[in-house]
Amino acid sequence: MIESFTALVIRDVEGKPRAGFEQLTLADLPDNDVLVEISHSSLNYKDGLAVSGKGRIARRLPMVAGIDLAGVVVESRVPEWQPGDRVVVNGWGLSETEWGGYSRFQRIKPGHLTRLPEGFSAAEAMAIGTAGYTAALCVLALEDWGQIAPGAGEVLVTGAAGGVGSVAVSLLAKRGYRVTAATGRPEQHDFLRDLGVSAFVERAELAAPGKMLQAERWTGAVDTVGSTTLANVLAQTCYGGAVTACGLAGGADLPGSVMPHILRGVALLGIDSVMAPAAKRDRAWAYLAEHLDRAKLAELTTVAPVSALPELARKIVAGETRGRTVIEIA
Ligand code: NDP
C-alpha cells in the first residue's frame, strides 16, 4: 500500500485556522474501523468557508477538510463493510469533528458510510455531493408536505445557479414542476434554462426588505439564501404552500413575521443534511437515482484537481462558482 499521500489539513496558525497541503501516512489517520481509498470529493459552500478560513467550520484542529467523499473500502474491522464496497459519506461532522474527504485515504466510522447506489459512479456521487443530496431532501420535504403538485403553480429556487440550487432546479423540472429561479447572475440564465427553469427573479428584488404579506406567487420554494430573501419568499408564498430552508448564503438572520404562517398556513420546513439519519439519506439517494437526469447532472458539473481547492474555496464563498464541482483525489 502507498506510503504517504497528500491531504488538505487545517491547522491553528497564530490562533487562526489555516489550510495547507501536507503529506500524511496511514498511521496519521484516526482510529476508525473502516479504511476507505477516496477517489473523489466535492466542493460545497461549507468547504469554501473551511478552506478559505472565512468560517470556523472545524471544531478541533488539526482537521482534514472536505465534507464529502466517495471511494472504495480497503480494510474493515466490522462485518457490515467489506473490502471492495463502494461507499459515499456526506456530512456526519466531516471537516468539523471528523477528518474529511480531501485526502487519498481516510478511516471512517461504520455508521457514517452510505452504500453508493447502483448506477452512480463515484464521480457522479460527488457531482451530487452534500449539496445535491440536500437538494433532494428539500424536494422530498416539499412533496411530503402534500399540498404542492406538479403543474399547479410555480416553485421558486433561490441561489439557483449554486450547487443546491442547480440540483433542486433539475429535480423539480424533471418531476414536472414549473420552476422560477432567483439568481444574481443574469449570465447564468441560459445555463438555468437548460436545466429546466421557465422564469427568473432578480436576486436583488428578494434581498430588499418587503411587506409582511405580499402578492401570492409560489406554491412552494427551495431557499438556500436565508435572511431577507427567505422572509420575502415566505411573504410571497401562496395559501397552503411550503418553503424549505437549508442555507445562509445571504445571511443567517430571518427578519420576517408570523403572518404568512398564521394567515396563509405557509410551512417553513427546516432541512439538515449533516446529522440526517441513515433512512432519510437512503431515501434521498434513491430519489436521486430515480429522478435526477444524468445528462443534466453532467451539464451542471465541473471537475477540478485537489490543487485547485484554495482558489475554488475563495470563489464559492464569493458566489463565483456555478453548479457543482467534483474534486478528483486519486
Ligand atoms: P453555492 O455557493 O454553490 O450556492 C449558493 C448560491 O447562493 C450562489 O451560487 C448564488 O447563487 C447565491 N448567493 C451567493 N451569495 C449570495 C448573497 N450574498 N445573497 C444572495 N444569494 C447569494 O453553495 P451551496 O449550494 O453548496 O450551498 C448553498 C447554501 O446551503 C449554503 O449556505 C450552504 O451552507 C447551505 N447548505 C446547507 C446544508 C444543510 O444541511 N442545511 C447542506 C448543503 C448546503 P446565484 O448566483 O444564482 O444568485
For the chain, percent of residues with pLDDT exceeding 70: 100
Superfamily (CATH H level) for 130-270 = NAD(P)-binding Rossmann-like Domain (3.40.50.720)
Find out whether the beta carbon of 246 lies less than 6 Å from any atom of ligand 1: yes
Query: In the prediction, which pLDDT does 2 show?
Result: 78
Q: Average pLDDT, stretch 304-322?
A: 97
Find out whether the beta carbon of 133 lies less than 6 Å from any atom of ligand 1: no
Minimal-distance CA residue to ligand 1 atom 17: 250
Annotate 146-184 with DSSP letters as a single string. SS--TTSSEEEEESTTSHHHHHHHHHHHHTT-EEEEEES
- Confidence tier at 1 by pLDDT (50, 70, 90): low
Find out whether the beta carbon of 90 lies less than 6 Å from any atom of ligand 1: no
Q: Average pLDDT, stretch 74-94?
A: 97
Q: Which residue has the cell 459519506?
A: 89
Q: Average pLDDT, stretch 26-37?
A: 98
Query: In the prediction, which pLDDT does 177 show?
Result: 97
1 vs 310, higher pLDDT: 310
- Residue range 181-203, pLDDT digits in tens: 999 999 999 999 999 999 999 99
φ, ψ for residue 89, nearest 5 deg: -130, 130
Tell which residue, 46, 34, 66, 42, has the closest CA to residue 125.
42
Query: In the prediction, which pLDDT does 3 show?
Result: 85
Instruction: Return mean pLDDT, the chain.
Output: 97
- Residue range 46-68, pLDDT digits in tens: 999 999 999 999 999 999 999 99
The identity of residue 230, as a single letter, is: L
Which residues of the chain form beta strands (DSSP E)?
5-13, 16-24, 34-43, 63-64, 68-76, 86-90, 105-108, 114-115, 154-158, 178-183, 197-202, 218-223, 237-245, 267-270, 301-305, 324-328
Minimal-distance CA residue to ligand 1 atom 8: 162
Q: Average pLDDT, stretch 229-254?
A: 98
Query: In the prediction, which pLDDT does 103 show?
Result: 98
Q: Best substitution site from 156, 171, 225, 272 to test ligand 1's pocket, by max atoms within 8 Å of Cβ? A: 225
Q: Are strands 34-43 and 324-328 parallel, antiparallel or unpaired?
A: antiparallel
Residue 282 pLDDT > 70: yes
- Residue range 118-133, pLDDT digits in tens: 889 999 999 999 999 9
Looking at domain 5-116+300-328, its CATH class is alpha beta
Minimal-distance CA residue to ligand 1 atom 48: 183
How many A from CA of 316 to the centre of ligand 1? 9
Query: In the prediction, which pLDDT does 117 show?
Result: 86
CA 40 to chain centre: 15
Residue 109 pLDDT > 90: yes
Q: Best substitution site from 51, 57, 96, 164 to test ligand 1's pocket, by max atoms within 8 Å of Cβ? A: 164
Q: Average pLDDT, stretch 290-318?
A: 97
Is the overall model pTM greater than 0.80, yes or no? yes
Tell which residue, 171, 217, 177, 211, has the closest CA to residue 195.
171
Domain ranges of the chain: 5-116+300-328, 130-270
Query: Cell digits for 157?
Result: 429556487
Query: In the prediction, which pLDDT does 96 show?
Result: 98
